């Protein structure tokens, strides 16, 4: 079920004083207020004792740091909706005060901008206080730390909040450029005819970051690249790039994504490379002998009619040369042509590149005749979406709006999350040896061997 008909009449944000709320949640709430989409009260919950006016001042600082040309009337509207309840999430009296603050609200949304270790505890306290009935619960990733823990967490959470009222955030699905993948594929006659094993040589997905984990060492050291971005973000992007055309009801796209995952064998650790950048272990919060991966490269397959036999390469890493996120659909080489004394050779493959980071757009690599010579050379057709279409909304803006109106289309369902954990679980159980790599490089040299027979990894440009 994708739609809950009742629009939320209250939003409760646990962790309102935390880093995620400061950077993402509060600026998103400002933008929703600006669009007239936030019409309910916002109750912030945190450990620190704060007055409403102190929370309002923190919210003002968050919004002005993130938004250019703040409209003071809009900001005043948002601040007037904010209320604060301080206390320990384990203290039952906090939920009594929360119930009083909710008043006559009958369809609240509880958003947990908290560490995942708190999800179940808060949900059980909400249920014990009689606050879970007809409410929706929104939780952040990661959902579990492996297949077993994810199943256990899901079983216990859905006993309180059924699937249609449990919203699991993957903010990549809220990114406008990620949603653009569907439109590029199915709204243009140019792409779909070549989007299969008949014409495609391979698919690559890269999430590169040119920075390390400074300031997040203790968190990241317990997570690593597989759990942080592969099991969730990058597999979801792959599903959109590889799925069949959606049709039918509101659950068409989630069903198609699920079909892709169910056609994928679990990753073979022999087809994976894990790396850790030099200097990682010296970062505050990181264990001195940590074996947490900051780089991962994988070869995967999709065993269905469209993609059988086509290798899928995924890589993600910290401290790489640039920050970029892109999907590369590499087309097969065309055959050599000959007429008279002429030879038309194509030494490389043409790439269709979907940039889904901040530098969103499409690059299509083609070959053209070199002026005055009987040889071809690569040229690019390049489109930047921001230049043509303007700035897109931020992911949390879209996802919070959807949660408030009861639309879970962009929130991964449990069956999808279960499949993605299944796919990566062998890497967690039997990881390949960890290799070190220098900061500012493209990871361990052995990662290059994964894609070597398919033209190698494309080197992305920067832009996020």
Strand 295-300 relative to strand 342-344, pairing: unpaired
pLDDT at residue 341, rounded to an integer: 66
Which one of the listed residues 171, 233, 342, 384 is annotated catalytic? 233
Domain co-membership, 286 together with 188: yes
H-run or E-run covering 296: strand 295-300
* Structural domain contains residue 73: yes
The answer to whether residues 358 and 301 belong to one domain is: yes
- Give the C-alpha separation, 219 to 214, whole Å: 10
More confident residue, 414 or 464: 414
Residue 72 lies in a domain: yes
Residue 165 lies inside a defined structural domain of this protein: no
The answer to the question of residue 148 being in a domain is: no
Query: Rg for the chain (alpha carbons), in Å?
Result: 24
- State pLDDT tens for residues 306-364: 999 999 999 999 999 999 999 999 999 887 777 776 666 666 788 999 999 878 999 99
Tell me, yes or no, whether 14 lies in a domain: yes
DSSP, collapsed to helix, strand or coil, labels residue 206 as: strand
* Active site annotation includes 3: no
Question: For residue 76, what are the domain limits?
Answer: 10-140
- Indicate whether 237 belongs to any domain: yes
Check whether residue 346 and residue 273 sit in a common domain.
Answer: yes
Are 75 and 178 in a shared domain?
no
In a domain, 378, yes or no: yes
CB contact at 8 A, 214 and 340 = no
Concatenated DSSP letters of 369-417:
EPTTSS-EEEEEEEEEHHHHH-PPPPHHHHHHHHHHHTB-TTS--HHHH
H/E stretch holding 109 reads: strand 108-112
Residues 234 and 285 both lie in one domain = yes
**Is the pLDDT confidence value at 462 over 70?**
no
How high is the pLDDT of residue 345? 66
- Which of 55-78 are b and which e, b meaning 16 or more Cβ less than 10 Å from the residue's Cβ? bbebbbebbeebbeebeeebbeeb
d(CA 13, CA 404): 12
Same domain, 214 and 106: no
CATH number of the structural domain spanning residue 278: 3.30.360.10
For the stretch 360-390, pLDDT in tens is 999 998 877 778 776 777 788 888 888 888 8
84 and 227 share a domain? no
Residue 1: its pLDDT value, please? Answer: 39
pTM of the model: 0.92
Q: Which of 123, 140, 157 is the last residue of a domain?
A: 140
Examine the domain organization and report whether 304 and 387 are in the same domain.
yes
Q: List, for residues 183-209, the tens digit of each pLDDT value.
A: 999 999 999 999 999 999 999 999 999
> What proportion of the chain, given as a percentage, has pLDDT over 70?
96
Handedness of CA 420, 422, 428, 433 (dihedral sign): negative
Query: Does 335 reside within a domain?
Result: yes
- Tell me, yes or no, whether 344 and 428 share the same domain: yes
Same domain for 315 and 379? Answer: yes
- Burial tier of 388 (Cβ tally within 10 Å: 0-12, 13-18, 19+): exposed
User: What is the C-alpha to C-alpha distance for residues 113 and 44, in angstroms, rounded to an integer?
Assistant: 10
91: its two tokens: 């203290």
For position 368, what pLDDT does the model report? 77
Number of structural domains (the chain) is 2
Do 131 and 256 belong together in one domain?
no
What per-residue confidence (pLDDT) applies to 2? 43
Domain harbouring 50, CATH code: 3.40.50.720
Domain boundary, last residue among 140, 164, 194: 140
Same domain? For 113 and 229 the reply is: no
Q: How many CB atoms lie within 10 A of CB 13?
A: 26
Question: What does the pLDDT look like over 15-40, one tens digit per residue?
Answer: 999 999 999 999 999 999 999 999 99
pLDDT at 250: 80
């Amino acid at each position: 079920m994708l739609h809950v008909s009742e629009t939320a009449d209250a939003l409760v944000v646990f962790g309102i004083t935390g880093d995620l709320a400061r950077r993402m949640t509060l600026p998103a709430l400002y933008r929703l207020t600006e669009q007239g989409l936030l019409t309910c009260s916002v109750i912030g919950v945190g450990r620190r004792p704060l007055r409403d006016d102190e929370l309002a001042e923190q919210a003002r600082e968050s919004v002005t740091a993130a938004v250019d040309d703040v409209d003071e009337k809009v900001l005043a509207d948002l601040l007037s909706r904010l209320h604060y309840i301080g206390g320990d999430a384990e203290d039952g009296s906090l939920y009594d005060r929360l119930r009083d603050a909710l008043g006559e609200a009958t369809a609240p949304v509880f958003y947990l901008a908290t560490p995942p270790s708190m999800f179940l505890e808060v949900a059980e306290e909400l249920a014990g206080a009689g606050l879970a009935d007809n409410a929706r619960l929104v939780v952040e990733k990661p959902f579990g730390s492996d297949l077993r823990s994810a199943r256990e967490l899901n079983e216990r959470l859905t006993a309180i909040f059924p699937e249609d009222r449990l919203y699991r955030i993957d903010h990549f699905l809220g990114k406008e450029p990620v949603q653009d993948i569907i439109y590029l594929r199915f709204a243009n006659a140019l792409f779909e005819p070549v989007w299969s094993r008949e014409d495609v040589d391979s698919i690559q997905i890269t999430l590169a970051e040119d920075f390390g984990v400074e300031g997040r060492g203790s968190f990241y050291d317990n997570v690593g690249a597989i759990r942080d971005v592969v099991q969730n973000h990058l597999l979801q992007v792959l599903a959109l790039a590889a799925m069949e055309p959606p049709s039918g009801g509101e659950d068409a796209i989630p069903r198609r994504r699920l079909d892709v995952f169910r056609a994928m064998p679990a990753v073979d650790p022999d087809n994976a490379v894990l790396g850790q950048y030099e200097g990682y272990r010296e970062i505050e919060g990181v264990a001195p002998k940590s074996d947490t991966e900051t780089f991962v490269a994988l070869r995967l397959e999709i065993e269905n009619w469209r993609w059988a036999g086509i290798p899928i390469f995924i890589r993600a890493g910290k401290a790489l040369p640039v920050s970029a996120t892109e999907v590369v659909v590499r087309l097969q080489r065309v055959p050599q042509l000959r007429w008279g004394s002429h030879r038309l050779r194509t030494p490389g493959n043409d790439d269709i590149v979907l940039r889904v980071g901040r530098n969103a757009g499409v690059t299509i690599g083609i070959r053209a005749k070199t002026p005055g010579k009987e040889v071809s050379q690569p040229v690019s057709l390049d489109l930047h979406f921001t230049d043509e279409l303007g700035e897109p909304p931020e992911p949390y803006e879209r996802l919070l709006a959807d949660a408030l109106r009861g639309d879970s289309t962009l929130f991964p369902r449990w069956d999808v999350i279960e499949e993605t954990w299944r796919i990566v679980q062998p890497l967690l159980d039997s990881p390949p040896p960890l290799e070190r790599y220098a900061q500012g490089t493209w990871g361990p040299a052995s990662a290059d061997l994964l894609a070597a027979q398919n033209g190698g990894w494309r080197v992305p440009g920067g832009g996020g």
